[in-house]
């Protein structure tokens, strides 16, 4: 439980942090809230030469409304702060955030850390995939925006480059024709998702469903959009039979995980059940 020796740097500005990251040439790790990286280091599953502590960079904190109506969430915003922000407007975030970890984890764990870490059982990646957010990354080479679709490449692997910091997460503006929900089957010990499903449903003018965004976590190597479910929902009448039929496609095209908590068959079945529940709840909120 004692990590290997490492250097520690605490930059006072974003530029200083980016320069330190570039200089380290891949041998340094960023630490934000430390909720994932510290346990890994203590177990010696990670042994970076140095830690660059970005935890006090005020530029990366807080939630602001952009001119185009979107919400820009600083990467260092904690789960607890996000829940108190205008982002609580999204039903799926109101569902997901209070059940992540415990109070300490929600007070320390950051949105940027959760995404950059890309744990395959983490709750937030599914929510942000369903919201189709845009990510902002910075390095000494400049800034780029990254659509979240395709960002989670595998277990603990993302499209972030070695010298990049995630700085901001941009949530779409609210829509009156949308309802959303997040439901999960939790590992009772850790709270991590055995299966977690985030759904956003868009209503059609004459009733029924115009379109949907559905994302799953805990099921495969990385959180993913269930495109076959979305295709089955688009243009459907939103009846219980239509929702159940769409949910059957929850794990289409995925290699489903099996482990001591849930074997592959059980997890596949739960993916269907929880997908149906997420869509039902999102649709009910749309009609409410
Ligand atoms: C007891 C416990 C229970 C938990 N339960 C849950 C749960 O139920 N559901 C769930 O989803 N999660 C759970 N977690 C995980 C928790 O949500 C994450 O550990 C946390 O959000 C990660 O954020 P952090 O700021 O602590 O990241 P850190 O641990 O500081 O960093 C994690 C990784 O991300 C990188 N990183 C961090 N910030 C950035 C950035 N801005 N740019 C680039 N890279 C960055 C770091 O280099 C590191 O590799 C639990 C954790 C604990 C300890």
Q: What is the CATH number of the domain that holds 104?
A: 3.30.465.10
Question: Are 48 and 62 in the same domain?
Answer: no
- pLDDT, residue 122, reads 97
pLDDT of residue 207: 86
192 Cβ below 6 A of ligand 1: yes
Task: Give me the number of domains the chain comprises.
Answer: 3
Are both 38 and 108 inside the same structural domain?
no
Q: What CATH code is carried by the domain that includes residue 188? A: 3.30.390.50
pLDDT for the residue 6: 92
pLDDT of residue 176: 83
What pLDDT digit, counting tens, does each position of 110-131 carry? Answer: 999 999 999 999 999 999 999 9
Average pLDDT value for the chain: 96
Looking at the structure, tell me whether residues 135 and 188 fall in a common domain: no
Residue 46 included in any domain: yes
Among protein residues, the one with the nearest Cα to ligand 1's atom 2 is: 101
Ligand 1 contact via 247 beta carbon (within 6 Å):
no
Residue 81 lies in a domain: yes
Give the 3-state secondary structure of the chain. CCCCCCEEECCCCHHHHHHHHHHHCCCEEEECCCCCHHHHHHCCCCCCCEEEECCCCHHHCCEEECCCCCEEEECCCEHHHHHHCHHHHCHHHHHHHHHCCCHHHHHHCEHHHHHHHCCCCCCHHHHHHHCCCEEEEEECCEEEEEECCCCEEECCEECCCCCCEEEEEEECCCCCCEEEEEEEEECCCCCCEEEEEEEEEEECCCCCEEEEEEEEECCCCCCEECHHHHHHHCCCCCCHHHHHHHHCCCCCCCCCCCCCCCCHHHHHHHHHHHHHHHHHHHHHHHHC
Output 207 or 225, whichever has higher pLDDT: 225
pLDDT digits (tens, 9 = 90+) for 139-190: 999 999 999 999 999 999 999 999 999 999 999 998 888 999 999 999 988 8
Residues 71 and 149 in one domain: yes
239 pLDDT exceeds 90?
A: yes
| Segment 234-259 mean pLDDT | 97
Decide if pLDDT at 288 tops 90. no
Q: Among 112, 142, 171, identify where a domain stops.
A: 171
Per-residue pLDDT at 206: 84
235 and 249 together in one domain:
yes
Q: Judge whether 278 lies within some domain.
A: yes
**Does the pLDDT of residue 135 top 90, yes or no?**
yes
Domain residue limits at 71: 58-171
Flag whether 2 is in a domain: no
- 71 and 152: one domain? yes
- 15: domain CATH number? 3.30.43.10
Centroid of ligand 1 to alpha carbon of 115 (angstroms): 8
Q: Are residues 115 and 204 in the same domain?
A: no
Rounded percentage of the chain residues whose pLDDT exceeds 70? 99
Q: Residue 1's pLDDT is what?
A: 75
Residue from 18, 36, 138, 158 to probe ligand 1 pocket by mutation (most atoms less than 8 Å from CB): 36
Interval 47-61: pLDDT, tens: 999 999 999 999 999
**pLDDT tens per residue, range 20-50:** 999 998 899 999 999 999 999 999 999 999 9
Domain boundary among 114, 145, 171: 171
> Same structural domain for residues 189 and 276?
yes
Q: Which of 73, 244, 97, 112 is closest to 182 using CA atoms?
A: 97
Confidence of residue 78 (pLDDT cuts 50, 70, 90): very high
**Sign, Cα dihedral of 124, 135, 225, 85:** positive
Residue 159 near ligand 1, beta carbon < 6 Å: no
Under 8 Å CB-to-CB from 135, ≥6 apart: which residues? 115, 145, 146, 147, 148, 151, 166, 168, 169, 170
Residue where one domain finishes, among candidates 126, 145, 171: 171
- Is 133 found in the same domain as 73? yes
Confidence of residue 104 (pLDDT cuts 50, 70, 90): very high
- For residues 93 and 120, membership in a common domain is answered with yes
pLDDT at position 248, please? 98
Inside any domain, residue 34: yes
What is the reported pLDDT for 2?
86
Residues 110 and 80 in one domain: yes
Q: Does residue 76 share a domain with residue 125?
A: yes
Q: 218 pLDDT exceeds 90?
A: yes
Q: Is residue 1 part of a domain?
A: no
Ligand 1 center from residue 244 Cα (angstroms): 34
Classify residue 242: in a domain, yes or no. Answer: yes
Of ligand 1's listed atoms, the one at least distance from the Cα of 39 is 53
Residue 96 lies in a domain: yes
């Amino acid at each position: 439980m004692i990590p290997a020796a490492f250097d520690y740097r605490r930059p006072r500005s974003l530029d200083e942090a980016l320069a330190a990251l570039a200089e380290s040439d891949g041998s340094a790790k960023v630490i934000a809230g430390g909720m994932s990286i510290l346990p890994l280091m203590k177990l010696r599953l990670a042994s970076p030469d140095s830690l660059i502590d970005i935890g006090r960079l005020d530029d990366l904190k807080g939630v602001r409304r952009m001119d185009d109506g979107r919400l820009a969430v600083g990467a260092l915003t904690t789960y607890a702060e996000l829940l108190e922000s205008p982002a609580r407007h999204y039903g799926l975030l109101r569902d997901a955030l209070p059940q992540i970890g415990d109070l300490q984890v929600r007070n320390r764990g950051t949105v940027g850390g959760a995404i950059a870490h890309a744990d395959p059982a983490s709750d937030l990646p599914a929510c942000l995939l369903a919201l189709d957010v845009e990510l902002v990354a910075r390095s000494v080479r400049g800034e780029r925006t990254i659509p979240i679709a395709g960002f989670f490449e595998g277990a603990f692997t993302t499209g972030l480059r070695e010298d990049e910091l995630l700085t901001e997460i941009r949530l779409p503006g609210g829509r009156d024709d949308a309802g959303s929900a997040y439901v999960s089957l939790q590992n009772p010990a850790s709270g991590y998702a055995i299966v977690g499903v985030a759904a956003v449903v868009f209503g059609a003018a004459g009733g029924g469903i115009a379109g949907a965004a559905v994302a799953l976590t805990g099921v495969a190597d990385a959180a993913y959009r269930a495109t076959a479910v979305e295709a089955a929902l688009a243009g459907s009448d939103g009846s219980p039979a239509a929702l159940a039929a769409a949910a059957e496609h929850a794990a289409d095209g995925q290699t489903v995980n099996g482990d001591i908590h849930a074997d592959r068959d059980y997890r596949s079945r739960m993916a269907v059940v929880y997908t149906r529940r997420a869509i039902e709840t999102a649709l009910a909120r749309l009609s409410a």
